[in-house]
Amino acid sequence: MEAKKKTRKAPASLGREAWIAAACEVLAREGLDGVRVEPLAAKLGVTKGSFYWHFRDRAALLDALLEDWEMRATSSVIVLVDASSDSPAARLTELLRRTTSPVPGVPDVEHAIRAWGTRDPDVMRRLAAIDRRRERYVEDLLVGGGVDRSKAKHRARALYLVVIGEHTRVAHGGRPTSAATWAELLGQMLKTGR
């Protein structure tokens, strides 16, 4: 029983993650206003009282939601894409795939969070920082692919806007853009000087 010490942490935090996961789903489906403690508890089959063991209050849950999304949709993606290949072109392809094709079982909160930012200046600021970070990453990949810096800046912006647009479209019920379109676009973006 002394040996268990090392693996103790997981079960303790499982509850917290379950709340976050459930909140994510609701956030994606109903937006920020749907994320309330009582309905969430009902959804999870527990009492709302239990919520307060994991979080100080509702605001703490919303904060965790944002944190979780930043990690999953930005930090992790960058690490995974970097590890996926050594070729910048291949990395860009992988990045586009990871950020535009929905991951089964993981709700896409991107659009809901942008809407949230519209109503909450703090969230807006945080979003802006994340946007800069992502755009910069794309820019560096383009430069790695042979595009010169000044061109890369514009293309990174364009590429990033396209991805945001795709999320918005899909959130509004549009059909996902085909892989062929993405490939074609990437080809354009990686064209070097001559």
Partner DNA sequence: ACCTGAACACCGTTCAAGT
Residues at the interface with DNA (CB under 7 A): 11-15, 36-39, 41, 45-54, 57-59
Q: CB of 69 within 8 A of CB of 109?
A: yes
Identity at 10, one-letter amino acid code:
A
Q: Where are the alpha helices (DSSP H) in 88-178?
A: 88-100, 110-119, 121-144, 149-171
Distance CA 38, CA 134 (A): 35
Q: Decide whether 9 or 194 has the Cβ nearer to DNA.
A: 9
Residue 13 binding result from DNA, its own copies, none, given CB thresholds of 5 to 8 Å by partner type: DNA
Distance CA 130, CA 70 (A): 8
Residue 52 binding result from its own copies, DNA, none, given CB thresholds of 5 to 8 Å by partner type: DNA
- Nearest distance from residue 55's CB to DNA, in Å? 8
Q: Decide whether 119 or 132 has the Cβ nearer to its own copies.
A: 119
DSSP per-residue string spanning 118-141 = HH-HHHHHHHHHHHHHHHHHHHHH
Contact set with its own copies (CB under 8 A): 118-121
Q: Decide whether 63 or 108 has the Cβ nearer to its own copies.
A: 63
Residue 59 binding result from DNA, its own copies, none, given CB thresholds of 5 to 8 Å by partner type: DNA
Q: Where are the alpha helices (DSSP H) in 31-106?
A: 37-44, 48-54, 58-70, 76-84, 88-100
- Nearest distance from residue 112's CB to its own copies, in Å? 16
Residue 57 binding result from its own copies, DNA, none, given CB thresholds of 5 to 8 Å by partner type: DNA
The angle at the Cα of 65, spanning 62 to 68, to the nearest 5 degrees, equals: 155
Q: Decide whether 45 or 193 has the Cβ nearer to DNA.
A: 45
- Nearest distance from residue 30's CB to DNA, in Å? 10
Q: Decide whether 120 or 135 has the Cβ nearer to its own copies.
A: 120
